[in-house]
Each structure stands twice: as structure tokens, then as C-alpha cells.
Amino acid sequence: MSTLIIEGGRPLSGSVAVEGNKNAALPLLAACLLTSDECVLTNMPRISDVEVMARLLLDLGAEVDGIGTTTVRVRCTRLIKDEPDPGLVGRLRGSVLLLGPLLARRGRATLAPPGGDFPARRTISTHLDALVSMGARVADGPGHQLEAPDGLKPTSIYLREASVTGTETALLAAAAAAGVSEIRHAACEPHVAELCEFLAQLGVGVTGIGSTTIRIEGGHKLGAAEHRLWGDYVEAGSWAVVAAVTGGEIEVRGARPEDIEVVAAVLKRLNVACGMHGEVFKVERSRPRAAGRITTGLWPGFPSDLVSLVTVLATQAEGRTLVHDWLYELRLFALEQLSGMSADLFLCDPHRIIVTGPRKLKGRPLDSRDLRSGMALIAAALAADGESRLAPLETVERGYAQIVERLKSLGATVTKEG
């Protein structure tokens, strides 16, 4: 495991370019298994989660070129097995996205418990419900075993929750089911819409893209496709917070204005001077003020993936802010470490935290328990006096490419050890 040593107290300024959306890259790679023709994905994020997913495809029999680069080529003439490597599955929650393509091409799928952040608290029941509604049968055995010997069938399904990966699982399965399927209470996040557009390029009939009701005409022979991933708005928002919390300024390139709008709206409520200038998202030096209340929501609500970072920003804002993450609970628990940095926090319950600022933070050892709070703690350490040591850095590298090099390019004094 690696440790990031951070000397805080310096404003970070400069320019960064975000790569493709991590949350789109994983379902797009899974979608490549639906066709035997070559798929080319460009602007791929060079992160460890993408590498794990690519290696899962290799394990299943696909040819994958360009792992670790921004251009990945996938060709899957045949799948040689229906059980992805359990060791790799245990590192990646997104491995659940392989179930639909495996059922479509092999008639069965066996998946070990997926890993990722908080695996014990995040179920895949919505995914399984969708697959069962399309004719899959749950078999007895360890992990998740499903069978669809007669193929997947079109269906009309109302998802029990607007789960992003649950919607994507249903989309991937419906693409292989001959006929028209309808998914209601679907997630509307940009990466779900991006998967829909990629499936359409492959030859799937898709309508209702970006809405809560998606209709899929599946079962056609699918062909080749080439797609450039949309920029990662969560990464863009992360760099914006890093600049704002340290009293710096930044230009972020690569994110779509319509995605950044959701992020910028909350940053502006915290009195952060920011906005799109052409294709560039600019954050200027600001004096943050409390926002009263910030609540996460389903898209186009404020994304839960940024709630940890906004909580850190609130520690440097004048006044009191209530941060309410109604989607998840463990993100806020991970931020209890901020109290050890002298932040003024009051954890009301697993979903709500009151932050009073500004408080001068102090460096200390930090534990990166999950991807997003890990990046938030890096931001806190950059704003703090003294040295902090965050480990394991690999947790953050799952979603942020070249994190050490990018921090240094913005003026941070950081060292990777181990």
C-alpha cells in the first residue's frame, strides 16, 4: 500500500483536464461484450477501476488492447466462461454489470460478491430483480448464480429504486432480449444516458434517453461502435473544491457545461466564484460562506459522489452548513477524521452533518476508507497546517488518474511513499 504525504497550507492554482467519466467507462466496457465486432472507446480514464474491468473482460475471453491508455479497443468473438475471476470481482462493484452480457451470450452467469466501497452495505437486489423479470432464474450456490437457458425475454419493469448500476444492468440485459422492454423509475444520470447512446451505436433501439422511462428494442445483431467518453463532472468538481478550499484558482477542461451546471450551483451557494467560460470551468479565489443546507438528490440533484468534498469546503466557509446525504450514510462517517483535524462537526445521524466554519485544520494521519471521502481528505490536508499522511492512496487512484502528478502541477507539496 502507498501513502501520500501532504504538506498543507498552500493555495493550489493552475489548469487540469479531466478524462472520461469513470461511471460511464465501466458499463461501456461491459456493453462491448454484447457484440462480436470491435468497439473503440476513447478519452478513457486511466484509473485502476477501469484496468480491473478491462482485465475482467480479458479473463472472459475478450481481446482488449490499450489498457492503461486513453484509447481502449475491445473485440469479443466468443466468451470462454460464465464466471468472472472472483479476485477481480471482489475489487470492483461495477463487475455486477457483466451479468446481463453473460446471460445473453452464455445463458448463465456466476458472480462472486462484488467489491468496491462499502460492499457489505450495498446490495444488488435491484439488478437481480431486473434480470429475473427478463427470464433469468436464480440458482442455488455461493455468490450470485443465474441461468437463462432459453435466452432473455423483453419485459416492462418498475425499478424498486432509481439505482444507476441497476438501470444499467437492466439496459444491458434488455439490449439482448428480442422485443421491446420498458424500464420505469430509471436513473437519469449522464452516464446512464451515455450508455444508452452507445447501445444505440451498436444497433439497439433506444428511446427516452435521459428520462425516467427508457424503451429498448433489443435482440438485433449488434455491430461495431466507436465512442469518445464525456468528461467526468465529478472529477471536475473535485478539482474545483481543491482550489476553493485552499484559496486558489483553477481552470478545468473537458467536462460538459450541462453536467457542470449541477456542481456549480452548489459551489455558488457556498460563495465560490465559478462558472463556465466557453469549454473551461473556472474557479476564482473566493471567501466561502455557509450555504445553510446542502442536500444530495437523484439527477439532476447534487451528486452524492461530491458530498464529502463539499463537506470539507464547508469547514472553510463562514457560518454553519447542514449537509444532508439522503442517498448514502457511510460517506459522512468516513469524514469523522476531520474532527481530529480540528474541524467543527456535529454528526446528527448517518445522513446529516452540521459543519461550522471557518476552522483552521491541522495535519494528521488519515485513512482513505472509500474513493470519494479519500479525495475529500486530500483536499482537507491541502488546506491544513502541517503534514498529513493519507493511506492507502490506491483507494483514491481507483477514480483519479495521475493524482500525484496533477497535484504537483497545481503547486501542491506531495510525495508518494511505498
CB 322 within 8 A of CB 354: yes
Angle at alpha carbon of residue 408, lines to 403 and 289, rounded to 5°: 85
Q: C-alpha dihedral over 294, 229, 108, 80, to 10 degrees?
A: -140
- Assign 16 to helix, strand or coil: strand
232 catalytic per annotation:
no
- Assign 189 to helix, strand or coil: coil
Compute the Cα dihedral for 288, 294, 298, 304 and give only its sign: positive
Give the pLDDT of residue 403: 98
Fold of 3-18+232-417: UDP-n-acetylglucosamine1-carboxyvinyl-transferase; Chain (3.65.10)
DSSP 224-257: -EEEEPPB-HHHHHHHHHHHHHTT--EEEES--H
My answer on whether omega of the bond before 300 falls inside 30° of 0, hence cis, is: yes
- Assign 6 to helix, strand or coil: strand
The full set of domain ranges for the chain reads: 3-18+232-417, 22-228
How far apart, in Å, do the first and last CA atoms of the chain sit?
6
Run of H or E including 264: helix 257-269
CB 176 within 8 A of CB 221: no
Give the pLDDT of residue 115: 82
Q: Please tell me the chain's helix, strand, coil percentages from 3-state DSSP, rounded to the nearest 5.
A: 35, 25, 35
Give the pLDDT of residue 88: 97
Q: Domain 22-228 - what CATH class?
A: alpha beta
Angle at alpha carbon of residue 302, lines to 301 and 305, rounded to 5°: 130
Longest dimension (CA), the chain: 63
φ, ψ at 360 (rounded to 5°): -75, 120
User: Quick check: do 3-18+232-417 and 22-228 share a fold?
Assistant: yes
3-state SS, one letter per residue, for 139-162? ECCCCEEEECCCCCCCCEEECCCC
Residue by residue, pLDDT tens for the chain (418 residues) are: 999 999 999 999 999 999 999 999 999 999 999 999 999 999 999 999 999 999 999 999 999 999 999 999 999 999 999 999 999 999 999 999 999 999 999 999 999 999 865 544 568 999 999 999 999 999 887 889 999 999 999 999 999 999 999 999 999 999 999 999 999 999 999 999 999 999 999 999 999 999 999 999 999 999 999 999 999 999 999 999 999 999 999 999 999 999 999 999 999 999 999 999 999 999 999 999 999 999 999 999 999 999 999 999 999 999 999 999 988 776 777 788 999 999 999 999 989 999 999 999 999 999 998 999 999 999 999 999 999 999 999 999 999 999 999 999 999 999 999 8
Give the pLDDT of residue 328: 77
CB 27 within 8 A of CB 197: no
Alpha-carbon span 345 to 407, nearest angstrom: 27
Give the pLDDT of residue 383: 98
DSSP alpha helix (H) spans, 11-163: 22-31, 48-60, 86-89, 99-106, 125-133
Give the pLDDT of residue 310: 97
- Catalytic site residue from 117, 232, 259, 325: 117
